[in-house]
Amino acid sequence: MPVPFKFMQLPDLAVSKRFNLSKPPGSSDAVLLSALIDRELAHGRRLAIFTADAFDAQRLLDELPFFSPDARCVLFPDWETLPYDSFSPHQDLISERLATLWRISQRDKDSGADLVIVPATTALYRLAPPSFLAGYTFEFKVKQKLDEAQLKAQLTLAGYSHVSQVVSPGEYAVRGGLIDLFPMGSLVPYRVDLFDNEIDSIRTFDPDSQRSLYPVPEVRLLPGREFPMDDA
């Protein structure tokens, strides 16, 4: 979209060159960034925006779609833990982070991302290489052959926890010919019904009531953790 204010016109940015501009008031920074986003996307380039804190990151995620509706924006969330905390980040946050990393890797697909917004504190922590996410992500669909023992081995290797009842991302349970899964990066869990060694149906289910809901054609499983936990 055209930028109406002269002070918001951006110069051509070059690699290793820095351009400084005082932060404009209100949502003007979103207008300014939308001009940069539209220009870069027109040249087939993606962007990463680093913000001072998580509040600014969430605000930009809410505002940018208004000024650049065609840009696919994602937020890379923080762990929300302090460096010396004795507890791990919440599973929902790990799930959201993995989903964001997967979207970034899907560059030329409908499910990909054009712009990732990252709080500065989040950017300080190292990430596993893209090969880890690619190597531990797998999919299966209805009517596909599926070996239950092999699936359990894959889930364990990918960092999923075997539980009696699935309620959180990163868990799975096996009851006869039914396999309940809550994939990382998914908003809902899935129930896989096996007939012999073939997937007869896949349905979502409510983790609170454990009741099956609507059918889906396939399931994508991201790793259960952000880092490999194998022997190597």
Render the burial of 38-49: b for 16+ CB within 10 Å, e for the rest. Answer: bebbeeeebbeb
- Token duo for residue 206: 């409510």
DSSP summary character for residue 8: G
- For residue 92, the SS3 value is helix
CA proximity to 53, closest of 126, 123, 127: 123
Taking alpha carbons only, the member of 153, 157, 182 closest to residue 170 is 182
Q: Which of 157, 208, 163, 200 is nearest to 181 (CA)?
A: 163
Stretch (H or E) spanning 73: strand 73-75
Q: Which of 24, 15, 95, 29 is nearest to 57 (CA)?
A: 29
pTM over 0.85: no
Q: What is the structure's pLDDT at 147? A: 84
* 3 state SS of 34: helix
Pairing of strands 47-51, 171-175: unpaired
User: How far is Cα 189 from Cα 210, in angstroms, rounded to an integer?
Assistant: 10
Cα torsion 207, 209, 213, 215 to 10°: value is: 40
- Block means of pLDDT (10 residues each) for the chain, 232 residues, are 51 76 82 88 88 92 91 90 80 89 81 89 88 86 87 86 91 89 91 89 92 91 83 74
